[in-house]
Amino acid sequence: MPSIGTWLGALLSLAILSFLYKDNPLFRFAESLFAGVALGYYIGNQTNQTIKPNLVLALTRDFAANWDLIFAGLLGIGLYFRYIKKLAWLARVPLGIYVGYYVGVTITQKLHGEVLPQMKDTILPLSGPGLAPLWNGLMIVGVFSVLLYFFFSLEHRGAVGVASRVGILFVMVSFGAAFGYTVMGRISLLIGRFNFLVNDWLRPLLGAVF
């Protein structure tokens, strides 16, 4: 006989899947339960896995080594000032620091991890044995025309228009490939859910009944 956990999982899965027919009270119940439990879990998880070990325990156990965490804590508390009308403007300070920090970090990461490798792999010789020049040429035309498509300082007219049209064709081809790839992944997820329903729930249930 399946366990209570399996029963709950199976019935809630079926309740969510019932949305495929139409919106109904069972789906609404499962949806609300899912949202509420997920939020509760997140709050508990963040409290126990982040705030407690990284802030509270770090400060109480070794204050001398971790005193700078007070600033991080104050920034976090600062976000709640938005609920006090007179101090609401203070909430923008931690938000600004948070956004500014990540923008700075991201710029370096993107240039370092994406722009430079992409450019390096695009600078290919238009010579070589066999079909290499053709494939290299295709890569070069693809990257440069897509780059031109995302150039916003010029209207897409004349030669720039033709080049950017070629660019969007390359983009669409890559989208087609990505679409197929991701659909395969989604079908795999669906198979996983049906696998749970059939093998973990239905089969033991039928085995126990018959």
Residue number with CB closer to other proteins (21 or 210): 21
Rounded to whole angstroms, the Cα distance separating 90 from 98 reads 14
**Options 7, 23, 50, 207; binder of other proteins; rule CB under 8 A:** 23
Which positions from 46 through 75 interact with other proteins, judged by CB under 8 A? none
* Residue 97 CB, nearest approach to other proteins (Å): 11
Residue number with CB closer to other proteins (169 or 205): 169
* Residue 53 CB, nearest approach to other proteins (Å): 19
Residues that bind other proteins (CB under 8 A): 16, 19, 23, 27-28, 30-32, 34-39, 41-42, 79, 82, 91-92, 95, 98-99, 101-103, 106-108, 111-112, 115-117, 119-120, 122-127, 140, 143-144, 147-148, 150-156, 171-172, 174-176, 178-179, 181-182, 186
